[in-house]
Structure 1
Amino acid sequence: MDVKIGTFNVLNLARPGERFYPDERPYSAAEYEEKAAWIANQLRLMDADLVGFQEVFHEEALRDVCARSGQFPDATVVAPGADGSSGPRLGLVTRLPLDGPVTAVTDFPPGTDVAVDGVGLPVGTFSRPVLRAPVVLDPAEGTTSTVFVAHLKSKRPIRDPRAPDHDPREEALGKARALIRRAAEAAALRFLVLDEIVGNARPTIVVGDLNDAVRAVTTDVIMGDSPSRFWPSDPEDRRAYWDRLLYSAHELTVRRTGRDVSYTHVFNGHYENLDHVLVSQEFYERNPQRIAEVSYLRYLNDHLVDSQLSNDRRDRIASDHAQLVAEIHLL
């Protein structure tokens, strides 16, 4: 049996006529129709059993585009807190059964604020609350996985509004502030993941826009460090390390195919993988006790444009991110 798990940053999905950012005009009825049709078509191309969404402003709009796709009859569609006044939120659609409610996690878990050597993480909440969903991957076998949908802070600077525009010193500080928030959110997400995977055989999947590359520090924080070839030497200690790791579907696919021509975002000529599917050891092909394997990772990125090379201008209809679909073969 195969299941397909996807992630989709929809770029400001909001109802027509309703302002979603103070400096952005609302979508006209015609714009919304075009955007909803584009998203629905991408969902048909993805053909995923479960999709985690980022940048959802109205749950009603998410339900609309999922219905238009024709892919999710009788499916569960949720976007907790996406009421138009709470900023961009996360959403989820699944035609797989749920083994409990989908919950939104706003506050960081206890322990993330511990200072060491005078350095702490002065952030206590996710900028976009993380979704946690218990999903039944295989009803016949009763195989349930915890799925997290995440959208970490972007690289866009957090600027002091009193600072003059284009001040290079303030730009440097703004990027550092954004990195601190993204790092804190990564550590807090790591705590949530560890609560799920350590000391049990509970499979876990993280999908979303993590706003950094697969081996960037913040993404690495979420995944954890694997033991080196000779350390630790004690087998029990090594098993403890394996038990708390996540693996990138991107890296697993590249290792199998021997090629890496992927990207999920293009900005100022830089091609980056900011969107990810991460899986626990229960999906790792080298684990003899695995229950499944990531067999393939698809990138839907033909709509992305390099503004340094093309005269085409990006509009508000198509997303500025690629969509990812991980195909998982259950054993």
Structure 2
Amino acid sequence: MNFTFATLNLLNYVAPPNACYEFHNIYDSEQWQKKQQWIAKQIEQVRPDIIAFQEVFSSEELKQQVLKLGYPHFATVTDPTIEEEYLYTAPVVAIASRYPLDEVCAVDYPSNLTQNQQDYRRQPLRATITLPELGTIDVYIVHFKSQRPMDNALNLESNDTTSLDQWQQACVGRWLSTIQRGWECHLLYHSIIERKKQTAHPVVLMGDFNQSLANSELAALNIHAHPRTDEPTQIAPYQLIDAGAIWFHEEPWSRPATHYHGAKGNVLDYILLSWELHGSSDFPRAELIHYQVLDKHLVNPNFDDDAYASDHAVVSLTLKATL
């Protein structure tokens, strides 16, 4: 059997009359309908079995939308932050599945770590799912801290700041964002390892990493960044590999960007697999048979279709069960 996984940052999925981030950031009924139509079109094109969503403010509306598309199993693990009654300021991640969710939980702070940093800005989600022939797997969904500078990093009064103050604040704020993103990455990976030590479940990790996997703050999830070890057979089951790197191995320059900042494209959205799911183990449970990036709305948009599209591509892959 084949199973398709997909991840999509929805970009401000907030149903009117609510707003997100700014009081004026509200869709009218026509705009909201167009946004939902765009999302439905992407899902129908990819037809995934399991979907990871980021940037979700209106969870119930998303649940109802994907139910109509054939996904009866939907979950989040926390609620978005609301200020001023209708202004949402912090989104959540979500999962939709054609298959039942055996267990869904938040990925909490590991109990065996000394807490000396902040917890997650956006709570990751773990869903345990049993798939025919493939067996029981753990699916993690994440949305790491953005590259946007931390607010008021130097604790300055806004009415007294100079241009130099603002520049200093931005520099410190960007560095604090990098630290937060790196800390979230290491917290998550530590939790994945601890869970797998207990269950031995294969792992699929999907989401918006908000940085290239090659960057140092995401080194925990980058198999190529790990130092050599004298016990590779013991470490290998706990390492995750970028499915896109496998797919574009022969032509890495041809890998499409998943997000653009101006004219510069970056790969920010990933699906990572544990060794049982990509053929590296002695007895793999699956092989990667397809990988795609839906990016037409980013590289060649049509206003009528894409006016309320996401600013991220849809990333998906298909696994074929081998057992």
Q: Give the TM-score taking structure 1 as reference length.
A: 0.84
For structure 1, list consecutive stretches of 5 or more residues without a partner in the other structure. Answer: 115-120
SS in 2 for 1:194: helix
Tell me if 1:248 matches 2:242.
yes
1:290-321 Cα deviation digits (max 9, x unpaired): 11112221101111159xxx9x8xx8711010
- By how many angstroms is 1:227 displaced? 6.8
Q: Do the aligned partners of residues 78 and 196 (structure 1) sit closer, same or farther apart at CA in structure 2, a change above 3 Å counting?
A: same
State the Cα deviation string for residues 241-264 of structure 1 (Å, max 9, x = none). Answer: 212200101111012566523110
Aligned residues of 2:142 and 2:207 also touching (Cα < 8 A): yes
Q: Counterpart of 2:233?
A: 239
Q: What secondary structure does 2:95 align onto?
A: strand
- Judged with a 3 Å threshold, the aligned counterparts in structure 2 of structure 1 residues 98 and 159 are, in CA distance, closer, same or farther, namely closer
Match of 1:122 in 2: 117
Between 261-270 and 158-167, report the one with greater CA deviation: 158-167
Alignment map for 1:284-303 (pairs within 5 Å): 284-303=278-297
Residue 58 of structure 1: how far off its partner (Å): 1.5
**Greater alpha carbon shift after TM alignment, 56-65 vs 267-276:** 56-65
Counterparts of 1:23-34 in structure 2 under 5 Å? 23-34=23-34
Per-residue CA deviation, residues 119-177 of structure 1 (Å, 9 max, x unaligned), is xx521x21111111001122xx4701000000000101113163548622111111001
3-state secondary structure, aligned to 2:254: coil
Asked if residue 79 in structure 1 is aligned to residue 76 in structure 2, the reply is yes
* Preserved CA contact (<8 Å) 2:248 2:255: no
Match of 2:105 in 1: 103
Cα pair 1:293 1:330 within 8 Å, conserved: yes
Instruction: Give the ranges of 4+ consecutive aligned residues of structure 1 lying more than 4 Å apart after TM superposition.
Output: 223-228, 256-259
Contact between 2:74 and 2:94, CA under 8 Å: does it hold in 1? yes
Report the Cα offset of residue 218 of structure 1.
2.9
Give the structure with the larger helix fraction.
2
Question: For the residues of structure 2 that align with 1:279 and 1:188, how far apart are their CA atoms?
Answer: 18
Considering only aligned residues, what root-mean-square deviation do their CA atoms show, in Å? Answer: 2.6
Per-residue deviation, 1:269 = 2.1
**Secondary structure of residue in 1 paired with 2:187:** helix
Conservation of the 8 A alpha-carbon contact between 1:225 and 1:245? no
For the structure 1 residues 82 and 45, does the alpha-carbon distance in structure 2 shift closer, same or farther, using more than 3 Å as the test? farther
Residue number in structure 2 paired with 1:322: 313
Asked if 1:53 is matched to 2:48, the reply is no
Q: Aligned pair in 2 of structure 1 residues 175, 95: CA closer, same or farther (>3 Å)?
A: same
1:62-115 CA distances to partner (integer Å, 9 max, x unpaired)? 1233145x343xx20123334562720011100023223x1123x42134446x
Flag the 1:24–1:252 CA change in 2: closer, same or farther, 3 A.
farther
- Corresponding residue SS for 1:282: helix
Residue 51 and residue 145 in structure 1: after superposition, are their counterparts in 2 closer, same or farther (change >3 A)? same
1:218 and 1:65 map into 2 onto residues whose CA distance is: 35
Distance 1:22 1:184 in 2: 28
Correspondence 1:5 to 2:2: no
Q: 2:264 aligns with which of 262, 270, 286?
A: 270
Whole-angstrom CA distance in 1 between matches of 2:185 and 2:81: 26
Unaligned 5+ runs, structure 2: 83-87
Residue 137 (structure 2) aligns with: 145
Q: 1:227 to 1:80 in 2, by over 3 A?
A: closer
Shift of 1:225: 5.7
Counterparts of 2:148 and 2:225 in 1: how far apart (Å)? 30
Distance in structure 2 (CA, Å) of the matches to 1:301 and 1:109 = 36
Q: Secondary structure at the match of 1:255?
A: coil
Separation in 2, partners of 1:165, 1:278: 44
What is the Cα deviation at residue 212 of structure 1? 1.1
- Counterpart residue number, 1:118: none
Trace 1:89-238 onto structure 2 (pairs within 5 A).
89-100=92-103, 102-105=104-107, 107-113=108-114, 121-123=116-118, 125-138=119-132, 141=133, 143-160=135-152, 162-163=157-158, 164=161, 167-198=166-197, 201-224=200-223, 231-233=228-230, 237-238=231-232
Counterpart-to-counterpart distance in 2, 1:220 and 1:227: 7
**Percent of paired sites with the same residue:** 25
Q: Under a length normalisation based on structure 2, what TM-score does the superposition of the two structures give?
A: 0.86
Q: Which amino acid aligns with 1:14?
A: V
2:219/2:225 contact within 8 Å kept? no
2-structure distance, mates of 1:170, 1:67? 45
Deviations 1:12-44 (A, max 9, x none): 111111122234432211111111111111111
